[in-house]
DNA sequence: ACAGGCGGGACTTCCCGTTTAT
DNA sequence: ATAAACGGGAAGTCCCGCCTGT
């Protein structure tokens, strides 16, 4: 048996596998993705694969912890946290995603939701991991709403409940968009949500 | 080794299989469910199974068309259509589901969403079927909102967009509830949505 | 259960099934043909099918006895028997088949050989049936050669052995033609065989 | 439950599987042979089997390319090529095979023909592979005839056409022998073919 | 005679994880 | 650490023949 074609780069390999897996899980789903497909796509032999990820579940957990969580962090938590107000942060994110999906050909949905739907019921460790991401997401938005209220920028809204509504409607609309392969659901949902949010930020926005 | 005692009841068998499949797909997911498990659970021979549902995909389509669609119809479309107003219909449904989930031990999520998330990306026929159910759902709620507006009961809302928001937030909140195995997400989401809807129905509700 | 669409025509049905089966067995082979395909192609229900042909083997035997045998009879035995000489009979058949295949798009081979190759080794009843057809074929040609010799038309050939050679080379050439999907093998084989036969019929042909 | 004692011998395994498959395909036919039987006969696990031969078709192609082709090479092409004349080479092969079959109990036919009959119509890749073997076979014999003619050893025969006739009559006679489970067809066919060939090699042979 | 539902099993293929070997 | 071979089993599909009912 031959020793050719071997490159020692443990971290690169782990990362490559995780990327390929994140992609495949997002697009085709966890159960519908075969380990062998990932091996082939990542150009990794069975032995190397197994060395880094002994089981499919561990790979799934790694992807959730290091890719899905990061996607929520960079796609939602950071933009909202760094925005002047929750309203503006949410607006930026929503409208950015709508623009992105307009340009793309295929809508694969919200990665967190995709994984959550399929895996939450199967494994408890996975479930609690996904739970944690939802919590962080919700917390970040709720904190921002709370800050806005404290600053007198927003009124008449329950920070945590509104955060839940924002996330839920985003997730649900993405699911509809994925099913329809059309951004309209997301756009319509955002139009209405936007109108609602504006009423709570009425004063500061009006005089702009 | 034949049993010699058989009763031909094709419709009963189809129905039994579809029920078992609907249950399993809802709880464990489509890909995570093995055909053999369904055969065993329904106590149906492979031949009979194959006669009625030649492939898993056809079974999936049948379940979507005859079980998932029916669940949306009876769980959402009819209650909302027959309610005095969209607001009251939605309230009834949301609060009814929250009560149900409180009593149950396990939250398996919204059947339509479960199927949509997993199957929309895999097969186009399935996708369009699920699409149709979302359309009917959205249409029924939007029509009700429109009627309320025409009757002067509701104001300041875009019927179709608000319908999308209602469905999206419900779907998303159910997904969160499933992930957390807790009704609080759904309850919080509803609290906020409820508060919003009330503002659009403000006048007639206040004087009640 | 419905009683519609029923026509009592036992012989017609048997015949239709046998024709469809003969066709499928010839083109795709016995083992590669599913009973269900035949049912579908013949538009016959499982019950009716089973009534006429309780098992695949019985169907195969029927096809061999009533279709393959008939094909050899009408395609070889009769033309050769009724021809003035074996030489002329064989010439007529060979050249006729070459012309036919030129016009057709697909070469499915010699039906007897197709069935024989696949079934001779599997079932003894079938084997002896096929054996009988080969015997009749060989006998008819051998008899004709013998008659020609007795009439002084042919010389220097062993009737039975030459008959075997004719049949074997025809069968083998058809097999090559099927594999290549080209008539050239058959044509070339016949060219050589023809040249040989002519030498044994030298005198009567020369003075023509 | 693992055995813990394993020796990696990929080539040995491939070879063992191919041998078992060649044997089974030759004796029982391709379609009549179940993959599972091959696994059992070769004592190979499903995983290992699948690793080396992902599908039945690929196994079939491998067998054709590496076993059937080799059989034709060593059983016909080499003996004829190395013989003093085509006549003597063909005589050696034919009579050798007749002797072999006399000793054996079961006649399984010509491997190339067996495979060709069953597979030529089903898959085009297979067809062209089998075609190539026929070509090589024909070419080798035709070349030998041509050389004999050039050396003045043979006369009055068309090298390529006679090669086709030899192969066709051999194939056809083997098919008859298989059907009858008797060597007589082959022997009779050869007797006649032999007599014919002698006439073309008449002079040099007579004075021996 | 015919229509269709049905029993039981076998078919090929695939999949996840482990072991050998370099 | 990496490459490839391998173990064991299950997945979905199909197939033949029978049985019930009209």
List the subunits that have 3+ CB pairs under 8 angstroms with B: A
Contacts of D21 (CB under 8 A, 6+ apart): D33, D38, D59, D60, D63
**DSSP notation for C100-143:** HHHHSS-----HHHHHHHHHTTT-HHHHHHHHHHHHHHHHHHHH
Q: Which residue of B has its CA nearest to A177?
A: B131
**What was the pLDDT predicted at D39?**
95
**What was the pLDDT predicted at B89?**
98
Q: Evaluate whether B28 touches A122 at the Cβ level (below 8 Å).
A: yes
Asked whether the beta carbons of residue C176 and residue D195 sit closer than 8 angstroms, the reply is no
Query: What token pair was written down for D168?
Result: 């066709």
Instruction: For chains B and A, tell me whether 3 or more CB atom pairs sit within 8 A of each other.
Output: yes
Asked whether the beta carbons of residue A192 and residue B165 sit closer than 8 angstroms, the reply is yes
Count other C-beta atoms under 10 Å from residue D141's C-beta: 26
Q: Helix (H, G, I), strand (E, B), or coil: what is residue A125?
A: helix
Q: Report the alpha-carbon angle D132-D137-D140, nearest 5.
A: 120
Q: Helix (H, G, I), strand (E, B), or coil: what is residue D104?
A: coil
Across chain A, what does the average pLDDT equal?
91
**Which residue's CA lies closest to nucleotide F13 at its C1' atom?**
B55
CA distance C52 to C38: 13
Question: Is the alpha carbon torsion for D20, D22, D23, D29 positive or negative?
Answer: positive
CA distance D38 to D18: 9
Q: Helix (H, G, I), strand (E, B), or coil: what is residue B55?
A: coil
**Taking 60 as the threshold, does the pLDDT of residue C149 lie above it?**
yes
Count other C-beta atoms under 10 Å from residue D191's C-beta: 17
Asked whether the beta carbons of residue C29 and residue D172 sit closer than 8 angstroms, the reply is no
Helix-, strand-, coil-residue percentages of chain B, each rounded to 5: 75, 0, 25
Asked whether the beta carbons of residue A172 and residue B173 sit closer than 8 angstroms, the reply is yes
Closest Cα partner for B175 from A125, A129, A116?
A: A116
Using an 8 Å CB-CB cutoff, list chain B residues near A191: 158, 161
State how far the alpha carbon of B114 is from the alpha carbons of A114, A118, B120, B125, in Å: 10, 8, 10, 17
D31-35 contacts at long range (C-beta below 8 A, 24 or more positions apart)? D31/C29, D31/C31, D31/C32, D31/C118, D31/D118, D32/C31, D32/C118, D32/C122, D35/D59
DSSP H or E segment with residue A9: none
Summarize the confidence of residues A169-197 as an average pLDDT. Answer: 97
Across chain C, what does the average pLDDT equal?
91
Closest nucleotide (C1' vs CA) to C10 is: E1
For D185, which of C164, C173, C192 is closest by C-beta distance?
C164
**What was the pLDDT predicted at B60?**
97
Asked whether the beta carbons of residue B165 and residue A32 sit closer than 8 angstroms, the reply is no
Q: How far is the CA of A15 from the C1' of F2 (A)?
A: 16
Q: Evaluate whether D137 touches D77 at the Cβ level (below 8 Å).
A: yes
List the subunits that have 3+ CB pairs under 8 angstroms with D: C
Q: Measure B130 CA to nearest chain A CA, in Å.
A: 7
CA distance C67 to C16: 12
Asked whether the beta carbons of residue B168 and residue A185 sit closer than 8 angstroms, the reply is yes
Range name among A167-176, C116-125, C150-159 with the lowest pLDDT average: C116-125
Q: How confident is the model at residue A205 (pLDDT cuts 50, 70, 90)?
A: very low
**What was the pLDDT predicted at B25?**
96
Q: Which nucleotides of F are covered by protein (CB under 7 A)?
A: 1-22
**Which residue's CA lies closest to nucleotide E21 at its C1' atom?**
A1
Q: Helix (H, G, I), strand (E, B), or coil: what is residue A32?
A: coil
Count other C-beta atoms under 10 Å from residue C43's C-beta: 12
CA distance B35 to B55: 9
Query: pLDDT tens-digit profile of D34-89?
Result: 999 999 999 999 999 999 999 999 999 999 999 999 999 999 999 999 999 999 99
CA distance A113 to B176: 8
CA distance C10 to C52: 8
Q: Taking each helix axis as running N to C, give the angle between helix A10-28 and helix A35-42, from 0 to 180 degrees, rounded to the nearest 10.
A: 130
Q: How confident is the model at residue C1 (pLDDT cuts 50, 70, 90)?
A: very low
Contacts of C16 (CB under 8 A, 6+ apart): C42, C44
Q: Taking each helix axis as running N to C, give the angle between helix A86-103 and helix A124-150, from 0 to 180 degrees, rounded to the nearest 10.
A: 130
**Taking 80 as the threshold, does the pLDDT of residue C9 lie above it?**
no
Range name among A104-108, A197-201, C170-174, D91-95 with the lowest pLDDT average: A104-108
Q: How far is the CA of A66 from the C1' of F4 (A)?
A: 29
Contacts of C83 (CB under 8 A, 6+ apart): C89, C92, C144
**What was the pLDDT predicted at B173?**
98
State how far the alpha carbon of C134 is from the alpha carbons of A140, C90, C158, in Å: 87, 16, 18
C-alpha A21 chain-centroid distance: 15
Closest Cα partner for A17 from A54, A28, A32?
A: A54
Query: What token pair was written down for B124?
Result: 């186009």
Q: Evaluate whether B17 touches B52 at the Cβ level (below 8 Å).
A: yes
Contacts of B167 (CB under 8 A, 6+ apart): A172, A176, B134, B137, B138, B141
Q: Measure A86 CA to nearest chain B CA, in Å.
A: 16
Q: How confident is the model at residue D4 (pLDDT cuts 50, 70, 90)?
A: low
Closest Cα partner for A110 from A185, A58, A161?
A: A185
Q: Give the whole-number percent of chain A exceeding pLDDT 90.
A: 82
Region class of C158: left (phi > 0), else alpha (psi between -120 and 50), else beta: beta
Closest Cα partner for C158 from D187, A25, A93, D141?
A: D187
CA distance B7 to B18: 19
Looking at the whole model, is its pTM more than 0.85? yes
Give C30's DSSP letter: S
In this structure, chain A runs to a length of 208
Summarize the confidence of residues D17-31 as an average pLDDT. Answer: 95
**DSSP notation for D17-58:** HHHHHHHHHHHH-STTS-HHHHHHHHT--HHHHHHH-SSHHH
Q: Helix (H, G, I), strand (E, B), or coil: what is residue D172?
A: helix
Q: How far is the CA of B7 from the C1' of F21 (A)?
A: 10
Count other C-beta atoms under 10 Å from residue B34's C-beta: 12
Summarize the confidence of residues A113-138 as an average pLDDT. Answer: 94
Largest alpha-carbon pair distance within chain B?
Answer: 74
**What was the pLDDT predicted at A47?**
86
Q: Evaluate whether A179 touches B131 at the Cβ level (below 8 Å).
A: yes
**What was the pLDDT predicted at D2?**
39
Count other C-beta atoms under 10 Å from residue C52's C-beta: 18
Q: Which residues of D71-106 are buried (b: 16+ CB within 10 A; e: fewer)?
A: ebbebbbebbeebebbbbbbbebbeebbeebeeeee
Q: Is the CB of C48 under 7 A from strand E?
A: yes
pLDDT tens, per residue, chain B with 208 residues: 344 567 889 999 999 999 999 999 999 999 999 999 999 999 999 999 999 999 999 999 999 999 999 999 999 999 999 999 999 999 999 999 999 999 998 999 999 999 999 999 889 999 999 999 999 999 999 999 999 999 999 999 999 999 999 999 999 999 999 999 999 999 999 999 999 999 999 654 444 4
Closest Cα partner for B111 from B195, B188, B18?
A: B18
Count other C-beta atoms under 10 Å from residue D142's C-beta: 20
Query: pLDDT tens-digit profile of B183-201?
Result: 999 999 999 999 999 999 9
**What was the pLDDT predicted at C202?**
66
State how far the alpha carbon of D126 is from the alpha carbons of B70, B196, C114, in Å: 50, 69, 17
Burial class (CB in 10 A: 0-12, 13-18, 19+), A48: middle
Using an 8 Å CB-CB cutoff, list chain B residues near A164: 173, 176, 185, 188-189, 192
Q: Evaluate whether A134 touches A167 at the Cβ level (below 8 Å).
A: yes
């Amino acid at each position: 048996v031959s020793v050719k074609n071997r490159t020692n780069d443990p971290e690169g390999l782990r990362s490559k596998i995780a990327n390929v897996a994140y992609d495949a899980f997002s697009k085709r789903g966890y159960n519908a993705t075969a380990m062998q497909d990932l091996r082939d796509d990542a150009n990794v032999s069975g032995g190397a694969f197994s060395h880094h990820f002994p089981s499919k579940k561990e790979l799934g957990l790694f992807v959730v912890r290091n890719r899905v969580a990061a996607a929520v962090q960079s796609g939602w938590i950071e933009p909202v946290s760094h925005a002047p107000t929750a309203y503006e942060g949410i607006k930026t994110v929503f409208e950015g995603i709508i623009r992105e999906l307009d340009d793309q050909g295929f809508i694969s949905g919200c990665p967190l939701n995709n994984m959550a739907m399929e895996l939450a019921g199967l494994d408890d460790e996975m479930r609690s991991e996904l739970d944690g991401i939802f919590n962080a997401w919700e917390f970040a938005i709720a904190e921002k709403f709370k800050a806005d209220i404290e600053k007198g920028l927003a009124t008449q809204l329950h920070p945590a409940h509104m955060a839940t509504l924002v996330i839920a409607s985003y997730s649900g609309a993405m699911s509809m968009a994925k099913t329809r392969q059309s951004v309209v659901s997301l756009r319509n949902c955002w139009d209405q949500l936007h109108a609602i949010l504006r009423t709570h930020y009425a004063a500061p926005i009006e005089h702009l």
